[in-house]
Structure 1
Amino acid sequence: MSGSVWLPPGARADVMPSVPRRRTPSWAAPDPVDELADRLEDFVAAAVHPDEIAALLESDGMSDDRIRETYGVKSSFALAEELYDRVERRHPEPEGPAHDPWRAGLLGCLVRGVVFALPGLAYVLGAPLLAGPRDGPGLPAGTVPLLAGALVGWTWNQGLSHRAYSWLGLGDRAAALRCLLLGAPAGALLGALCALAVSGAAGPGALAFAAGQSCYLGAATVLLVTGRERPLLYALLPMAAGAAVTPLTALPAPVRYALLLGSLAAVAVLAALALREAAPAPGALKGPGAVRAARPAPGPRLPASVPYAVFGLGSGVLVLYAALGDVLADGTAGAVAAPAAVALTLSMGPAEWLLHRFRSGSLAGLRSTGTASAFRRATTLTVTRCLAGYLAVLLALALSTAAVWPHSPDLDGPRLTGLLLLGVVVWTGLLLQSFGAIAGAASVSCAAALAQTLLLLTHTGDPRWTGPVVYGVAAAAQTALACVLLGRATAHR
């Protein structure tokens, strides 16, 4: 039939038949492209794009003219595509165990947790200085300047630590030490002035204790940032030993105060020694006729540390509220270091180790998953496991501390629920902070602190359940935020 084309049986007229690939007969000369593919097989099999192969060909000195003459293709890119098509993909795993930069020793983290908790024993030795008539909020008058100084110190030193660590991350240790040299005394002075501003009916002993606390916070920040946890631990041991024997025998007042001043002086001297390495600022004149140094590289922006300070304020208020419930029930100044607050402080060591475990787990998830949804599921599972481990540690510490703490209130349902929910807020906040998602953590913690303050001031609801409700909402919000943000592979760069 004129104008018609014969088609094989079963073929469709609207689909063009495929062109069979040209094959080299067994009796013909070997294909030079096949020979090249055999020679470069290992490299070609591991390539993820033909351009990698083209770069190798060009680095071997293969020009397009030579490629056309030898292999019958027009360019190195065409030859690379041909090689990429002929060799099956193989991506070999690296030899030996995968590198894990987030591996951390448990002992070192536990030491940091003990270092965080030991200063709380100073309140046992200094309890007579803090006693006095109750003020408006129902707290002994001596505790008000102490709490004000503590909040200021936590806020200031959280921001100072971030700025110093930022300098260390840029490789400029001298700048980090200069930052601590200026910031730590300034924070101590600011904390002491705030304690003085709210002193009210507090006596000079309470003001002196608050000033010493501010000095300790600044000096301890220097030692922790510079990695001197063990010297700090040793400096605190005499004070801790005195506090440990206080429930067994009444130490004379001069001995109490000597132990407090001795530990404070030791910590201050250690911080001063750590700051000896602080060099003069780049560009400073070094003598008559000296030439100014070159302009230093730009450092971390100061506003970048503000969210970290705000997070320190919000989380500090929440932790203080966990202790203030016991203060109001017990009526003694020594109850400021309540079992709940002590358990939270001791748990910071395991919390830090579990943060490293999460980073290791997320790194393993990046290697073992191939889709975004699979990585999100793996990250959520890792968050759940680490958070459950932290809560188990916090529960054990809370029960142990309550068992040995003198005149400790019972850990009933509201207290224990509130403590565990607060633990979720604290740990997920630290997790977000470690990934730089500080804005979300600061917003949630400050909103929770403000909500609990308003509920307590307006006497809304049952005071026993005010904390658990606020902590529960904050814990749910922050856990969801952590799962959403950290479920993205780009967050783990």
Structure 2
Amino acid sequence: MPTPAAPAGQPSAHAPAGQRPAHAPVGPAASVGPSAPVGPSAPVGPAAPDGPAASVGPSAPAGPVASVGPVVLAPDPLDELADRLDALVAVAVHPDEIAAILESDGMTDDHIRLTYGRVDSFALAEELYARTERRHPDPEAPVAGPWHTGLAGCLLRGLVFALPGLAYVLGAPLLAGGPGRYGLPPGSVPLFAGAVTGWVWNQSLAHRAYTWLGLGDRRAALRALLTGAPSGALAGAAVAVAAAGPGEGAAALFGAGQALYLAAATVLLVLGRERALLVGLSPLAGVVPALGYDLPGGLRVALLLLSLTASTLFAALVLRPGPGRQGRGRGGPPFAHSFPYGLFGLGSGLLVLYAGADAVIALSLSMGPAEWLLHRFRGAGLTRLRLLTTAYEFRRAVTAVLARCLGGYLAVLSVLTVTAALLWPGAAAVSAARVGSVLLVGAVLWLGLLLQAFGAVSSAAAVCLLAAVAQALAPAAGPFAAGAAAAVLCVLTCVLLVRPTAHRC
């Protein structure tokens, strides 16, 4: 800190000798001019308390002035904090972002009150936000990453999501021999039980493996898949066999194969081997002649077994190098964190099944464009986070992007729904009510996947499960249940995802 200047009318004790005023005392005692009457009784120092005042002539200077040392002020800790967080504060669009940074830095309210004299982290964040100029960098070119994927890859994933539905077309005549239960077609109960088990298990397994990949530990992800995929296949097969009734042996075997396929597909999709899965599903193209001709049962079984064997073999080859022993000591994500993803898979799967066979094909094919639009929304949010300077502008821009992405997905789904209804044998007639009900289910799926991508999976799973239960209890009220679920998820999305803090990586 610079030393404060001496008060006016007083000489500075630290000025150089050549710059002292002419009347400033040089020695320890003042130099008195010749006209100063200094007698033997004249006091030299200050006057005694009880004695007369000293007689001093007009040219006699006053007594020496006590020197004052430099005043040094302690540095303001808020200045140091502002300098340290300058780069982060300058790009923040709301003080809440800065408060989150302070809390993640371990600053408690007590520490903030003692060190910075502010009430809490929000008050400190507001002051930092006010004193720092906004400096948003120019948007960078998108880099290759999870939020800048290509449309072709997403469409390929949508295709491999839909192709397994052809297996049920090939296998339908094999399952028609047994009696139906609970008002369902023959063989539906074991297939349904095995599928539900597979959805819950493999969604949870996929989340755990993706978490390991996000942590940069591919060996741990391989180890999780190598352990979890066979266990899931065994669990799904066991549930399908246990749920089979009299005369449903073929359905139980089909359910066991379904469980094995779900495990293999999970491995290949998590590890990005969609093309290998597409090759494994290619024998199901035999369903095309089956639409016009009655294929022999042996040929149907052969096509199904060939597709299942190829998919399982490709998954085994991907895992063949072995997980090794690296990273075995790491804690890893807790198992409980993956369970809500399984529940979301259960709820969304039940909603899709209730929509009908042609709607299942349309919704499965739409998952490719849906995934691409999810990436577009995420990338657009990050771009606007760099460009915009206020929270209001960010909320308005993100809401517009959300509306465009959801509208684009529903437009694609409507085209796929009409096409599937026209081409699928035995599908319900195309009507505005039919298309509208499928679009409501599609909105629930897309908004749920969006919330899941931002970590709000528990809310999405709860809404989807409640809608599925309501549809199971009252099938006629299915569109109303889906509409209510879509409305709730839309509100949750608008509340949670328009905040800048939700888009921080």
| Common topology (TM > 0.5) | yes
Q: How is 1:122-137 mapped onto 2 (pairs within 5 angstroms)?
A: 122-132=167-177, 134-137=179-182
Measure, in 1, the Cα distance between the counterparts of 2:85 and 2:287.
70
Deviates more, 1:352-361 or 1:96-105: 96-105
Query: Shift of residue 95 of structure 1?
Result: 8.3
Measure, in 2, the Cα distance between the counterparts of 1:251 and 1:278.
41
Q: If you compute each CA radius of gyration, which structure gives the higher value, 1 or 2?
A: 2
Question: Residue 363 of structure 2 contacts residue 442 of structure 2 at CA under 8 Å; is this kept in 1?
Answer: yes
Post-superposition Cα deviations, 1:163-202, rounded to whole Å, max 9, x if no partner, equal: 0111111111111111111111111111111112221134
Query: Shift of residue 203 of structure 1?
Result: 2.6
Query: Shift of residue 232 of structure 1?
Result: 0.7
**Residue 419 of structure 2: aligned partner:** 400
CA distance 1:378–1:215, shift in 2 (3 Å): same
Would you tell me which structure has more helix in proportion to its own residues?
1
Question: Residue 264 of structure 2 contacts residue 312 of structure 2 at CA under 8 Å; is this kept in 1?
Answer: yes
State whether structure 2 residue 393 is matched by structure 1 residue 382.
Answer: no
**Residue 428 of structure 1: aligned partner:** 447
Question: Residue 212 of structure 2 contacts residue 218 of structure 2 at CA under 8 Å; is this kept in 1?
Answer: yes
**Residue 250 of structure 1: aligned partner:** 294
Name stretches of at least 5 consecutive residues in structure 2 with no aligned partner: 1-79, 88-131
Query: Shift of residue 407 of structure 1?
Result: 2.2
TM-score, with length taken from structure 1? 0.73
Query: Shift of residue 206 of structure 1?
Result: 1.3
Measure, in 2, the Cα distance between the counterparts of 1:281 and 1:343.
43
Q: How is 1:239-388 mapped onto 2 (pairs within 5 angstroms)?
A: 239=284, 241-281=285-325, 296-323=329-356, 338-388=357-407
The one-letter code of the counterpart of 2:411 is A
Pick aligned residue for 1:474 from 462, 478, 485: 485
Query: Shift of residue 50 of structure 1?
Result: 7.2
Q: Secondary structure at the match of 2:333?
A: coil
Q: Secondary structure at the match of 2:283?
A: helix
Name stretches of at least 5 consecutive residues in structure 1 with no aligned partner: 1-47, 56-87, 284-294, 324-337, 457-462
Measure, in 2, the Cα distance between the counterparts of 1:142 and 1:407.
19
Question: Residue 177 of structure 1 contacts residue 278 of structure 1 at CA under 8 Å; is this kept in 2?
Answer: yes
Post-superposition Cα deviations, 1:116-139, rounded to whole Å, max 9, x if no partner, equal: 100100011111122145534211
Question: Residue 142 of structure 1 contacts residue 206 of structure 1 at CA under 8 Å; is this kept in 2?
Answer: yes
CA distance 1:249–1:360, shift in 2 (3 Å): same
CA distance 1:95–1:121, shift in 2 (3 Å): closer
CA distance 1:183–1:412, shift in 2 (3 Å): same
Post-superposition Cα deviations, 1:22-66, rounded to whole Å, max 9, x if no partner, equal: xxxxxxxxxxxxxxxxxxxxxxxxxx99737999xxxxxxxxxxx
Q: Secondary structure at the match of 2:180?
A: coil
| RMSD of aligned residue pairs (Cα, Å) | 2.4
CA distance 1:169–1:205, shift in 2 (3 Å): same
Measure, in 2, the Cα distance between the counterparts of 1:316 and 1:218.
16
**Residue 291 of structure 1: aligned partner:** none
Q: How is 1:227-242 mapped onto 2 (pairs within 5 angstroms)?
A: 227-239=272-284, 241-242=285-286
State whether structure 2 residue 196 is matched by structure 1 residue 196.
Answer: no
CA distance 1:271–1:453, shift in 2 (3 Å): same
CA distance 1:141–1:250, shift in 2 (3 Å): closer
Measure, in 1, the Cα distance between the counterparts of 2:457 and 2:314.
31
Question: Residue 100 of structure 1 contacts residue 360 of structure 1 at CA under 8 Å; is this kept in 2?
Answer: no
**Residue 333 of structure 1: aligned partner:** none
Q: Give aligned pairs, total.
A: 381
Question: Residue 193 of structure 2 contacts residue 239 of structure 2 at CA under 8 Å; is this kept in 1?
Answer: yes
**Residue 441 of structure 1: aligned partner:** 460
CA distance 1:52–1:180, shift in 2 (3 Å): closer
**Residue 18 of structure 2: aligned partner:** none
CA distance 1:321–1:89, shift in 2 (3 Å): closer
Question: Residue 180 of structure 2 contacts residue 187 of structure 2 at CA under 8 Å; is this kept in 1?
Answer: no
State whether structure 2 residue 474 is matched by structure 1 residue 455.
Answer: yes
Q: Secondary structure at the match of 1:263?
A: helix
Query: Shift of residue 255 of structure 1?
Result: 1.1
CA distance 1:54–1:433, shift in 2 (3 Å): closer
State whether structure 2 residue 151 is matched by structure 1 residue 151.
Answer: no
**Residue 429 of structure 2: aligned partner:** 410
Question: Residue 125 of structure 1 contacts residue 243 of structure 1 at CA under 8 Å; is this kept in 2?
Answer: yes
The one-letter code of the counterpart of 2:300 is R
TM-score, with length taken from structure 2? 0.72
Question: Residue 124 of structure 1 contacts residue 243 of structure 1 at CA under 8 Å; is this kept in 2?
Answer: yes
